[in-house]
Amino acid sequence: MLSPSEPQASNSEPTPIFSQKLVDCCHIRLPDTPKPTSAIHYEGRYYAFVKFFPSVETARQKAALMTRRGNLVLLTRIPKGLVLWVHEADAQPL
């Protein structure tokens, strides 16, 4: 599983896919964003919604791209596909 203190260590390893049941759904407020954002809370960190993907391959490609750009990301599985989430260090829970 993903350690909260270490982002994905290697670009060659695919981003793990978590069950939606393992995370807490919530809303967060981000700096310079007037409306609350859909988010998840996992191991003490808040992750903002990025995008829904119907296929694992596309979701993992986008997650890998964001990881290469220095972002800490999670993928969660839902009945119709996967959701990509990005860590938001400045998030404020509602």
pLDDT of 10: 47
Q: Tens of pLDDT along 54-64?
A: 999 999 999 99
pLDDT of 9: 43
How far is it, in rounded angstroms, from Cα 94 to Cα 92?
7
pLDDT of 28: 98
- Sheet bearing 81-87, strands edge to edge: 17-19, 73-78, 81-87, 45-53, 37-42, 24-29, 92-93
Which pLDDT tens digits describe the chain residue by residue (94 residues)? 444 444 444 446 788 899 999 999 999 999 999 999 999 999 999 999 999 999 999 999 999 999 999 999 999 999 999 999 999 999 999 9
